[in-house]
Amino acid sequence: MKYTQLGRTGLKVSRLVLGTMNFDAASDEKTSFAIMDRALELGINFFDTADRYGKVQGEGGTEKLIGRWLAQGGGRRDSIVLATKVFGPMGPGANDEGLSAYHIRAGCDASLSRLGVDHVDLYQMHHIDRGLPHFKSPMKYIDGDLRNLSHPTHVKPGADWDEVWQAMEQLVGAGKITYVGSSNFAGWNIAQANERARHRNFLGLVSEQSKYNLFTRTVELEMLPACRAYGVGVIPYSPLGGGLLAGKHRAGAGGRRSGQTLDAATQAKIDEFEKIAAELGEEPANVALAWLLANPVVTGPIIGPRTVDQLEAAVRAVEIELPAEILTRLDEVFPGPGDQAPEAYAW
């Protein structure tokens, strides 16, 4: 396994991140334990979960399962960088969701209890909270009128982030979390968050999880440049495009793949992609992961294996170095926006 620093921090993490969303859902406890044990043997030390993961939303089933795995001891807790998330509804109460200081504190305590640990290494905001005034979209059409929603006159600029950062600072001070990350943030959210953190002499965001793969490249416009500028490590999720880049189900009659009907253009992209992978002598899934790993802003993609075999197969991606001509061909097959904003569309 290879390692890198998480964003601008000194924390060393594996280039592949073990995603646990399938645990307590698609993978039973025995299989999940085997996957985590094997991940450690393979050198994967970055484990990602969330309070919302599990068969029954709101019960934290995945965190509880990981807690039972950690409780076996054997140095498991000290061997991993443990990340979880807060935001989504975890109960029927009005304050059982969101990024209020109230829910951040309660959510962290609940996650620690389910995980059976005294701290998490990376505490991530699962989404931006659009219910808070300064987290709303900057502009929105309402009844044909363009309204500015980002600066209500009765709220001092930065007030929402002051609430969030005060809560996070208290958790850091109490030793309950070490670093703070985000997920599904826009570029301007990352800039706003880290500028306000700087104002408070706080470290701010060190990582961002976002959907990023050869099919989905919108983040290259604003989010990736923001992360590069602020030293925020990018952790792509859905790196295989929902399985389309996995190469596990070849196209059959009618262009069906994994029970999904594909249009001709998508099918043609996948066929060309698999042709490139075959020329390299590599599995398509590993080429898709290697493409992400070639981006210097990417810390490591999240893999979500359902079996030990899937986990072992993915490790090969870390060793693949794609030549420049292959990267160019992949850009031709899966064209992104073309550049960061505004160059991508303005000149």
Q: Which residue numbers are catalytic?
A: 53
Q: Are 262 and 271 in contact (CB under 8 A)?
A: no
Residue 115 and residue 31: Cα distance in Å, rounded? Answer: 18
Structural Rg of the chain based on CA atoms: 21
- Is 42 within 8 Å of 312 (Cβ atoms)? yes
Can you tell me whether residue 172 is helix, strand or coil? helix
Q: How many residues make up the chain in this entry?
A: 347
Helix (H, G, I), strand (E, B) or coil at 273: helix
C-alpha distances in Å from residue 104, one per residue of 110, 119, 276, 309: 10, 14, 46, 37
Six token digits for residue 94: 């009005």
Burial of 7 (0-12, 13-18, 19+ CB in 10 A): buried
Encoded amino acid at 344, one letter: A
Q: Residues 104, 163: contact at Cβ < 8 Å?
A: no
Q: Rounded to whole angstroms, how far apart are CA atoms 270 and 262? A: 10
Indicate the pairing of strand 256-257 with strand 260-261.
Answer: antiparallel
